[in-house]
Amino acid sequence: MTYAAYVSDKFTYEPYINNVSASAARQFAVACPLIFRKAQLMLQREAIFPAHRHALYEAHRYSAAIRSGDLLFVSGQVGSREDGSPEPVFEDQVRRAFANLRAVLAAAGCTLDDVVDVTTFHTDPAQQIDTVMAVRSAEIGDAPYPNWTAVGVNWLAGFDFEIKVVARIP
């Protein structure tokens, strides 16, 4: 049976899976405290916000990022100014989205080097890809590169580019 079978609900020693006795869960917690603690941390969530959060977080009621264990799940970052308005020039919007991303990563003690998975959203991929790739190559460091998925969409709430990532917390 894996350690996940012993993880308890709300960190009590009540069995997570009905077939596991409470004493077996306690024994596992004592015998493997690091694994048990890591399992507990993976069940916890902590909201992360940059020092100068932009108005979109409050207006749309979402967190800039969620820390869960040693992973950071960053919400889609757009090229918004602090008042929530978009940068009017597409290249500036992409650069601002990366700047906003860096600020969120820094608030969790991460950098772009810690990013393992990237998803970008584009309102007109065929017309925008060259600009995005130029900014991307300036922002993303040397290999190994993170996974990258680009998705064409027809609406981004007034924006033309969005980037969301998953990073490992050092």
Structural domains of the chain, with CATH: 3-43 (no CATH), 46-168 (3.30.1330.40)
Looking from the CA of 8 toward its CB, the CA atoms found within 13 Å total 17
Strands (E), 58-110: 65-68, 71-78
Distance CA 149, CA 67 (A): 22
> Which phi and psi (to 5°) does residue 55 adopt?
-60, -20
Question: Which residue shows structure tokens 């008042």?
Answer: 83
Q: What tens digit of pLDDT does each residue of 143-156 get?
A: 999 999 999 999 99
Distance CA 75, CA 161 (A): 13
Q: What is the mean pLDDT of residues 15-24?
A: 55
Q: What tens digit of pLDDT does each residue of 77-104 get?
A: 999 987 889 999 999 999 999 999 999 9
Comparing 64 with 41, the larger pLDDT belongs to 64
pLDDT of amino acid 37: 60
Looking from the CA of 5 toward its CB, the CA atoms found within 13 Å total 10
